[in-house]
Amino acid sequence: MGLVALVACVGALLVYDVGRAPEATQAFAEPVRNATIVIEEGGARKGFSTPEVTVSGGGVVTVVNLDSMDHTVTSVANGPDGLPVFDVRIAAGTTATVPGIDALAPGEWAFYCKFHPSMRGDINVVGGGGGVEPERPTFEQPLVVPRTETGAHIRLVMKRALVRTRPDGPRTSMWTYDGTYPGPTIRRRGGRGTEVTVVNRLPKGAGAMSTHLHGDHHASADDGQPTTYLIEPGSSRAYDYPLTVAGRPEPGSFFWYHDHRMDRTARNNWRGLQGMFIVTDPPLPGLRLPTGARDVPLMVSERSFTADNQLTDPFAGGPEMVGHHGQMAWTGPKAPPDDATVGDTVLVNGREAPYLQVSATRYRLRLLNSSPFSSYNFTLSDGRPFLQIGTGSGLLPKAVVRTGVLLGPAQRADVIVDFSGATGRNLVLESVPAEPGYTGDNARQASVMEFRVGASAPDPSRLPSRLPSPKLVSPVPSKVSKTWTFGLAGDDHASFWSINGKAFDPDRVDHRSRLGTVERWRFRNTSQVTHYVHIHNEQWRTVLRDGKRPPPWERGLEDTWRLDPGEVVEVAGRFTDYTGAFMIHCHMLDHEDHGMMARFDVVR
């Protein structure tokens, strides 16, 4: 039978060849119908090996992943459902077909990898093709600014609640601080002690929780760490935040609070346990920043939803924890480095694609990226600049004009936008990939929210140049007292994210620092992906980025740094006020949950 088929086939080929005149071959040359996208070893850094492919309508696009990491081929354009027109995950060492290509209208369809957004390319659809065109983003619901709490004693009840996230359809069941996502925004003057009591009324199966006030300086027992001082189901814990540093008021900052439970931080944050905390300065003479309704905190985060608007569970079927040469490690399809929790839908203050009506005046926007994994490079659609006046940890010494503000998980930026001259226009806050040639994990593509600019209005604010920024630690020690190396460890069977070769062990002290001293620390990234390094307890200054003075927006106080593959960053900080255990970790939450955390103790 095989022989018959073969003969028939050869016969057909012969007939086809003979029947085809040379001119006809030219005139009716069929373009290559199918196309192949190849990812070679090291794709996260090198990009797609075939960034431009051409497919004729009805053809098939195959992705061959020869790398040791999972990747996706995801369209930049969204369809009518607000989701990428095509999106496929290709496991390490496998092949997949890009779905829906035959439906696409002819043209260039940009794509990228959701896990490593600097991997980018274009699928060129020629000939035939279908009728699917990219949708223009729409902004259908107003931005919601979370309720503000200003008292000295604040009570937050963690509970399940139905919250509005998407413009239509059912509300989303989430785990909340006090019934909303994000939880209430706490706003307190520096130096005014604040006690926040967190009550755990989450469903029993959620387990014990731990609330960390990210960026703040407070005692180890009030730090909300992974395994100690937990909030058991049905119980509560009072966290004491003096909002002081070495006896003085903490400088005005943009902090946030979130769950920090061992192995469960990614899940608990995804479910909704996140809120903002603003520390304010007393009125500073000569500084006239936008205030009131023109001071807008924006928590940007991403999630994926089911068709009835419920959160997907990307953690189900997650990696399994195993022992590996005396350490914890993970095994299974989502083990490191394939543990990337990316959401399809970007939320601002908990809502998908919101709009904000603004007057044609200056606004202060406090941008926070609370996503588990993704970075955003924020831009405004008309190229209008941001004037960055602060990090999350205080004002910068000097305001910086930027058209793109790249923020990784847990990073914040305090910016002023002047909407004057835009009356009647709608400006979109977007995330676009950073400049070509940028080697780290780039920012994802997204239309984040819209500003609808109305008439101009009286505006008492002024753009500051010099800023009354908090003092930086000085002098900086010339000697590095600790190097933290961020890497991937283990083997094909079991892997973990590591710091100095080890997975996190809450009972192991990885470094000791003496109270009252200044230390200089060095971070190195030996892995193939970017990490975002966060240090608890103190505010630090960035001394060097790759041997050079850091860029102007990194010259203030910081608690979270981008660390690209191969990069070396040095920071300096002073240990004041508190002894005890604190954490240093990657703030990509799956990395944190899968080993990339260490403990340092401040000792007398």
Smallest gap from residue 536 Cβ to ligand C2O (A): 6
176 vs 265 by CB, closer to ligand C2O:
265
Q: Are 508 and 599 in contact (CB under 8 A)?
A: yes
> Residue 583 binds which entry of Cu ion, ligand C2O, none, with Cβ cut-offs from 5 to 8 Å by kind?
ligand C2O
Total site size for ligand C2O, rule CB under 6 A: 10
448 contributes a contact to Cu ion by CB under 5 A: no
Return d(Cα 11, Cα 529) in angstroms, integer: 53
585 contributes a contact to Cu ion by CB under 5 A: no
- Region 243-262 residues binding ligand C2O, contact defined as CB under 6 A: 258, 260
Q: What are phi and psi of 19, to 5 degrees?
A: -75, 0
114 vs 536 by CB, closer to ligand C2O:
536
Torsion 345-350-354-359 (CA) sign: negative
429 contributes a contact to Cu ion by CB under 5 A: no
Q: Are 147 and 156 in contact (CB under 8 A)?
A: no
Of 101-109, 399-407, 546-554, 582-590, the window that binds ligand C2O (rule: CB under 6 A) is 582-590
Q: Of 586, 589, 597, 598, which lies in the binding site for Cu ion, with binding defined by CB under 5 A? A: 586
Return d(Cα 293, Cα 278) in angstroms, integer: 15
48 vs 532 by CB, closer to ligand C2O:
532
Considering just the CA atoms, what is the radius of gyration of the chain in Å? 26
> Residue 587 binds which entry of Cu ion, ligand C2O, none, with Cβ cut-offs from 5 to 8 Å by kind?
ligand C2O
Return d(Cα 294, Cα 288) in angstroms, integer: 12
264 contributes a contact to ligand C2O by CB under 6 A: no
410 vs 602 by CB, closer to ligand C2O:
410
Question: Quick one: which of 439, 601, 415, 604 has its CA closest to 529?
Answer: 439
> Residue 586 binds which entry of ligand C2O, Cu ion, none, with Cβ cut-offs from 5 to 8 Å by kind?
Cu ion
Of 161-169, 322-330, 531-539, 551-559, the window that binds Cu ion (rule: CB under 5 A) is 531-539
Question: Quick one: which of 306, 221, 227, 234 has its CA closest to 264?
Answer: 227
Q: Of 585, 591, 594, 599, which lies in the binding site for ligand C2O, with binding defined by CB under 6 A? A: 585
The residue sitting closest to ligand C2O, measured at its beta carbon, is 214
Q: Are 243 and 282 in contact (CB under 8 A)?
A: no
Return d(Cα 342, Cα 372) in angstroms, integer: 7
**Amino acid in position 206:** A
**Bond into 319 cis (ω within 30):** no
Q: Are 387 and 463 in contact (CB under 8 A)?
A: yes
Smallest gap from residue 406 Cβ to Cu ion (A): 16
Smallest gap from residue 408 Cβ to ligand C2O (A): 12
Q: Alpha carbon of 159 to those of 156, 273, 312, 555: distances in Å?
A: 9, 9, 19, 39
Sequence-distant (6+) residues with CB within 8 A of 95 are 62, 63, 64, 65
- Region 179-238 residues binding ligand C2O, contact defined as CB under 6 A: 212, 214
Q: Of 536, 555, 574, 599, which lies in the binding site for ligand C2O, with binding defined by CB under 6 A? A: 536
Of 44-52, 54-62, 572-580, 587-595, the window that binds Cu ion (rule: CB under 5 A) is 587-595
Q: Alpha carbon of 103 to those of 33, 424, 588: distances in Å?
A: 14, 36, 35
Of 96-104, 499-507, 542-550, 579-587, the window that binds ligand C2O (rule: CB under 6 A) is 579-587
Q: Of 71, 116, 412, 534, which lies in the binding site for ligand C2O, with binding defined by CB under 6 A? A: 534
DSSP reduced 3-state for 8: helix
Q: Of 536, 591, 594, 599, which lies in the binding site for Cu ion, with binding defined by CB under 5 A? A: 591
569 contributes a contact to Cu ion by CB under 5 A: no
541 contributes a contact to ligand C2O by CB under 6 A: no
Smallest gap from residue 264 Cβ to Cu ion (A): 17
Smallest gap from residue 583 Cβ to ligand C2O (A): 5
Q: What is the DSSP letter of 83?
A: S
Return d(Cα 327, Cα 266) in angstroms, integer: 21
> Residue 212 binds which entry of Cu ion, ligand C2O, none, with Cβ cut-offs from 5 to 8 Å by kind?
ligand C2O
Q: Are 501 and 487 in contact (CB under 8 A)?
A: yes
Q: What string of DSSP letters covers 508-555?
A: S--EEEETT-EEEEEEEE-SSS-EEEEESSS-EEEEEETTBPPPGGGS
> Residue 164 binds which entry of ligand C2O, Cu ion, none, with Cβ cut-offs from 5 to 8 Å by kind?
none
359 vs 369 by CB, closer to ligand C2O:
369
Geometric angle at alpha carbon 106, from 102 and 111, rounded to 5°: 75
Q: Of 587, 591, 594, 599, which lies in the binding site for ligand C2O, with binding defined by CB under 6 A? A: 587
Smallest gap from residue 527 Cβ to Cu ion (A): 8
Binding mask 395-434 for ligand C2O (x = CB under 6 A): ---------------x------------------------
The site for ligand C2O (CB under 6 A) is made up of 212, 214, 258, 260, 410, 534, 536, 583, 585, 587
Kindly list the residues in this chain that would bind Cu ion in the complex (CB under 5 A). 531, 586, 588, 591
